[in-house]
Amino acid sequence: MAERSREYLTSTHWGTYEVKVSKGKVVALDPFSEDDDPSPIGPGIIDVMDGPSRITTPMVRKSWLDNGPGSNTNKRGLEEFVEVSWNKAIQLVADELSRVRSNFGNQTIFAGSYGWASAGRFHHAQSQLKRFLNCIGGYTGSVNTYSFAAAEVVVPHILGSFREHLDNSTSWNSIIENCELFVALGGIPLKNGQISAGGTGKHIQRNGLFSAYEAGIEFVNVSPLKSDIEHKIQADWIAIRPSTDTAFLLSLAHTLIVKNLVDIDFINKYTVGFEQFSEYLLGKQDGIPKSAEWGADICNIPEKKIIDLASAMARKKTMISVSWSLTRQDHGEQPFWAAIALASMLGQIGKPGTGLGFGYSAMNHIGLNRREMRYPAFPQGVNKVKSFIPVARISELLENPGGSFNYNGKEHIFPDTKIVWWAGGNPFHHHQDLNRLIKAWSKPDTIISNEWCWNALAQYSDIVLPCTTSLERSDLSLTPKDPYLVVMDKALEPVGEAKDDHEIFKLLAEKLGVESKFTDNKSSEEWQNWMYNRARQSAAKENVELPSWEDFKKAGWFKVPDAEKQGVMMEKFVNDPIKFPLSTPSGKIEIFSNTIANFDYNDCPGHPYWMEPLEWLGNATVNAPLHMISNQPKDKLHSQLDHGAVSQSAKINGHEQLLMNPSDAKLRGLKDRQIVQIFNARGACLAAVKIDEDVMEQVIQISTGAWMKLMDGICVNGNPNMLTPDKGTSNLAQGPIAHTCLVEVKAI
């Protein structure tokens, strides 16, 4: 490869790095010069680029190769693979696609393919897969995200949009200058703020949080984990029972009413439905006032704490931040709805530094004072197939062909899935109740995956197409969520016979007679040039001049100037609700939604509502007395690079760490660093105990992301989704409820 006049650069979801190469190997990923708080995750790829887990040739499961589609599907994950040539692999896939399309229809091809692979705008595996499938008639896909599916569906009914408000969160700068009290439900975990979808240039969450603290802002951390806010911040820790956030918020709202602290002018001008909600809070509907005493009993929080906090929130300039994790629990629609209602009652929405935020430090771009830019994505084309599933209903799709499901006011049908194709994700990380998924996974005739390493997805596939990593191809990081545009250099040649996803689908498109339709007669370089120049045109409309394609490639990166005005969420609406109404039926904040009420779901009524979750400490049993929190890891993004040195160094004897309160450890006779089994009726995994007072009693915490590896049905690496329940949040959103999970722990 030709020498460069600058260091190689690459961008990832967790940061930008300067790539050092020696003798054809990556030897270092150094922090980007612009980033003063770099993520440690990046170098985790170095030792596994060409390690023993790398897939270097196309592979086919033996029974499938010998006997064809549908053969011995119960052996997925157990059976050996056979190496085949690319010509053979492409022919096998093309033939299988033709068979299924002809005999069963394109709706029987499922390409949910939940993403997070490369941060590159062109080599976005999910987009490449979906464009290809759209060229041959389409596929069944999925909607929403594991991150906040419940909010994605319910918040548009309340505020007219979710993503618009999420991406225009009030900036940290505005908070620092104007806020007095910051109430963080689910904390402000900086480990999550390492990440931003599509690439990260400069990390800002740590500086934002610490600057807010230094400005004298008081912080309240409402979480089972004290560590959800840095100790330096000296936050008031309210150790709440997991899955009771809605009850806590309702009791705060009730306190505002009985203490006459509601901003009635804001309620009357900007909201509808407060009367129905207040009747519920006061117990006029069910005879149960949602008082501080009521909330204290459910949440295991002192009644006085609730009353004092409600009073302080009304008295001070207050920001309420609701972590995305709050949606990943049973009835996960309700905490966000209740938080919006509470913020409306305080009357501080749309004002500088106060109001409401959807998860500060959930990603790096939340609270970033950036210009709102619009850049092109790799065009996927039009999907002629209209069937879909909510993202977390994969097992039901495979188990129940022809069955029905409710979603956002309508009834839909599960198609009879014959092919599952996954590119750029790992369902054996994201999904819940993995034993159930494994059984359902045996139903389709064929599982195809584009993978670069032998994780569980590859092991449970029939055909594995080895793909490149982002360091083995050129791309560009071009995300509107971050001001840095970054050239992603090809730093080394592909390992083995690996091909990038675009090349894989180009070969398949050629075989099926749609190559020109798929490529649009453009090379990969020409596609990237086209996307960048479209971005230049879009930027010019915002009075931002991007460098030419040639100058951009030479420089390696470009930073879009910061926004001139500090961002304030919903400011336009509050300043002029007639000129800038919300996209709700009323044009206002819908504390009560007639639309949702008319869906007549018994698990999601027309206003914020407390419903007892499937599992919580209020119904714990002798067999499952502990509540397990499985949150995001510090040392990887989801399960990416779990096999790399950075992630492995954080483990104890190869096992994920399990945080446990000293009293719970003592009760079970457990010692620090001891290997234990976490279990319930759904499954089991191993972990290593870390005794820590930062987790409340009767709660344990283990990060997600450990690669599933089963021995006698137990995940020895520590994947907590062996235990989490696979149930929808409600009939409205059908989101995941991983944080609603009771377990027990024992020594092994």
651 belongs to a structural domain: yes
Would you please indicate which residues are annotated as catalytic (active-site) residues?
Answer: 114, 116
- Interacting residues of 91 by C-beta distance below 8 A, sequence separation 6+: 511
Q: How many domains does the chain have?
A: 3
Residue 489, domain CATH: 3.40.50.740
3 belongs to a structural domain: no
Q: Is the pLDDT at 248 greater than 90, yes or no?
A: yes
Residues 425 and 470 in one domain: yes
pLDDT digits (tens, 9 = 90+) for 66-97: 999 999 999 999 999 999 999 999 999 999 99
386 belongs to a structural domain: no
Residues 533 and 659 in one domain: no
Residues 344 and 462 in one domain: no
377 belongs to a structural domain: no
Which DSSP state fits 607? S
Residues 67 and 118 in one domain: yes
Residue 699, domain CATH: 2.40.40.20
pLDDT digits (tens, 9 = 90+) for 654-692: 999 999 999 999 999 999 999 999 999 999 999 999 999
Residue 259, domain CATH: 3.40.228.10
Residues 193 and 342 in one domain: yes
As given in the structure block, the two tokens for residue 125 are 């595996």
- Interacting residues of 26 by C-beta distance below 8 A, sequence separation 6+: 19, 20, 45, 46, 49, 471, 491, 492
Mean pLDDT calculated for residue range 222-239: 97
Which DSSP state fits 596? H
pLDDT digits (tens, 9 = 90+) for 163-187: 999 999 999 999 999 999 999 999 9
Residues 133 and 160 in one domain: no
Residues 543 and 587 in one domain: no
CA distance 243 to 612: 9
Mean pLDDT calculated for residue range 351-356: 98
Let me know how many helices (H) and strands (E) the chain has, helices first. 25, 31
Residues 465 and 586 in one domain: no
Task: Please say whether the beta carbons of 240 and 598 come within 8 A.
Answer: no
23 belongs to a structural domain: no
Helix (H, G, I), strand (E, B) or coil at 426: coil
Q: Residue 646: CA atoms inside 13 Å, Cβ hemisphere, count?
A: 19
Q: Is the pLDDT at 1 greater than 50, yes or no?
A: no
Residues 137 and 162 in one domain: no
Domain that holds residue 439: 59-142+403-480+484-559
Residues 331 and 468 in one domain: no
Task: Please say whether the beta carbons of 198 and 477 come within 8 A.
Answer: yes
570 belongs to a structural domain: no
Helix residue ranges per DSSP H, 332-412? 333-346, 394-399
Element (H, E) at 489: none
- Interacting residues of 147 by C-beta distance below 8 A, sequence separation 6+: 324, 327, 328, 362
Q: Is the pLDDT at 717 greater than 70, yes or no?
A: yes
pLDDT digits (tens, 9 = 90+) for 481-502: 999 999 999 999 999 999 999 9
Q: Sorting pLDDT into bands at 50, 70 and 90, what band is 5?
A: low
What percent of the chain stands above pLDDT 90? 97
Residues 194 and 260 in one domain: yes
- Selection from 399, 407, 458 nearest residue 428 by Cα: 458
- The pLDDT of residue 564 is 84
Which DSSP state fits 652? B
613 belongs to a structural domain: no
458 belongs to a structural domain: yes
pLDDT digits (tens, 9 = 90+) for 460-481: 999 999 999 999 999 999 999 9
CA distance 604 to 153: 12
Q: Sorting pLDDT into bands at 50, 70 and 90, what band is 305?
A: very high
Residues 225 and 323 in one domain: yes
